[in-house]
Structure 1
């Protein structure tokens, strides 16, 4: 594995983490990262909640559970070693009804199986000991859940890659990979191809991962269907009403976590995100639309099957998209003192959600090796938390396995 030339497609936190891991494990290797933007971490890596997930929700034994737990430890260690801000502010997942309490008990059992540190259940009065303004009938408390800036971590990793002799090529969009005689060629959008061939390529293309994989000879599905999530910052005077993170109990029938309170590493308090179909895979402003992205999901039978199964949840989410008042009201169910708080739009994230043709959402991480090319096909939340562990897994297990 040493003295080989590796290419990483995508300069988000996952691509950068893989490049760094190769250089850590094989210091003599040559590593080149290709990023289509003019800076690293311009997409999901810098448009997210910043939460370092502890591993509460994930199916024990799955890749998500394993890599989230390992990833959370590695992120904490990386931040400590590189002087990156890290705030272990804690998180409560709050039930408001008997039905939610029973779902919360299931999450608690998963978190114990996943060995989430110091997690415990709180009764109604104990919730106020952690979050004085929060109401609920029962809550799951994860005191070790933390917040960071993944954009800042990604930039720090990029610096380390360069210090270790790796190269980061910006402003080059890779659209296809071809393999011949165990060597991989890289093809750019403008019909050019990179003059060097590579021994191994890892594609970490996020929102474009399905397209790059399919154009490079991998299977068509799962396809990426983009969902946006809008965050709002609450009025500065009210940010002390919430100390850390307050989440609802997720509905297992619907894949998104619901509107919640998230403290940011800069000290601001946000409410968000909602989850609704995005009219562009990279439409962060919400003001544009991309015809080919829209065509992609409208002509995908999986999208229509998903939509028909999730209409009530979609209508609930649409109300929060159309009205800030409805958005705040959803969050105020947990913190009534913030029922009338004013909010301003903040980060808008776009989730690269992998969807099968039967309308089911791919829950676990999907990492596929084909010859000397490895594609990350699905790495939604906790993808950023898990990034350093995903890198270990790819470099130490996937790439060495034939």
Structure 2
């Protein structure tokens, strides 16, 4: 695809945004606010917004307590949490600021808990340290040897947030097109052009890649080497039976292992009052592999062919074996839950819808632990946007908008 330089009237838009999850829609919204009159077209392959990571998570508005000071994650999560609460309040969307406990279940975890206290304070987050007896002030049914309370954590419905962002962007002049899977990307001179699965060709002055689970693939379609591969991990959840949901008042997390981006099996009371338990994280056999029987051979082969996959597996096989064990055995999963919530039995846990996390892995097997933005001519790629991307979606959208508008100015 390509051709001679196009006149402005020959473009279908100024910016094409690939991906209609919360990051792509926040980017479209941010562009319309920062540069009114900029023509934005969002291309989403599904029939509606937020069908994948955005609409399949625990709905937690993360405070930023876990993240390395100065990182994108820390900066965007701290600002984004407060902004997300304000946005939900202004737009009338369901949300609650519940606070959360991070609980040490054995004395060996206390040094890591104290390190989180320090990290939270460095990030400007109010953190209260609790002794064993004080845990019951917040969560009477939870057991631990110590904990910290993070007051700024909350919950919302990120799918509802994404739908509202789409509506606001459209009100400002953006176009959101569903059923528009991008199959071909080309650039020539001053134009970027894409062809969708339906054969439609659209041209613009710049493109933003917010394709989530397919962000690396979209980068390659554009002729850019992302230097990483998205390896999908399925997060499997249970929900507490309705008559047992009263065991949990808010949000309860174990002390995380700093070597991994996963937070362990935790307890989350959502805006609907349902308490989700999980997730455990296991390799998925498809990028949209929400069930164990969903296998896409080409995607699985691509994951297996990436050198980083095997290096990651060799490095962390013990951790991975524990996750797989909890996936295959409800008894093992229940055992993990009972470390936090002793009164729970296997009969109290009801299977809940799973999600898939797009985890970027480098060639050497390193898990990419921060947001990753890569620019090339007339393109901005969002190549890694893991949790807390939904929490931080408003400042992330502004950052991506700033980058692509700077390219248009040049």
CA distance in 1, matches of 2:105, 2:318: 19
Q: CA RMSD in A?
A: 1.6
The equivalent residue for 2:71 is 62
CA distance in 2, matches of 1:380, 1:274: 16
Which of residues 101, 118, 132 in structure 2 aligns to 1:109? 118
Shift of 1:342: 2.0
SS of residue in 2 equivalent to 1:251: coil
Q: Is residue 2:184 matched to residue 1:182?
A: no
Shift of 1:193: 5.0
The equivalent residue for 2:180 is 172
The equivalent residue for 1:264 is 270
Instruction: Tell me if structure 2 keeps the 8 A contact 1:234–1:341.
Output: no
Q: Is residue 2:240 matched to residue 1:234?
A: yes
Deviations 1:33-64 (A, max 9, x none): 10011111111010101000000110100111
Q: Is residue 2:47 matched to residue 1:50?
A: no
The equivalent residue for 1:215 is 221
CA distance in 1, matches of 2:237, 2:361: 24
Q: Unpaired segments of 5 or more residues in structure 2?
A: 1-7
The equivalent residue for 2:315 is 309
Shift of 1:340: 4.4
SS of residue in 2 equivalent to 1:337: coil
CA distance in 2, matches of 1:204, 1:18: 9
Which of residues 237, 246, 252 in structure 1 aligns to 2:252? 246
Shift of 1:399: 4.0
Shift of 1:347: 2.2
Q: Unpaired segments of 5 or more residues in structure 1?
A: none
CA distance in 2, matches of 1:98, 1:363: 27
SS of residue in 2 equivalent to 1:32: strand
- Equivalent positions of 1:43-192 (< 5 A) are 43-116=52-125, 118-189=126-197, 192=199
**TM-score normalised to structure 2 length:** 0.94
CA distance in 2, matches of 1:319, 1:140: 29
The equivalent residue for 1:387 is 393
Instruction: Tell me if structure 1 keeps the 8 A contact 2:226–2:383.
Output: no
**TM-score normalised to structure 1 length:** 0.95
SS of residue in 2 equivalent to 1:274: strand
- Equivalent positions of 1:221-370 (< 5 A) are 221-370=227-376
Shift of 1:121: 1.1
The equivalent residue for 2:3 is none
Shift of 1:136: 0.8
CA distance in 1, matches of 2:299, 2:80: 31
CA distance in 2, matches of 1:18, 1:254: 28
Shift of 1:119: 1.6
Shift of 1:104: 1.1
CA distance in 2, matches of 1:328, 1:182: 57
SS of residue in 1 equivalent to 2:356: strand
Shift of 1:31: 1.1
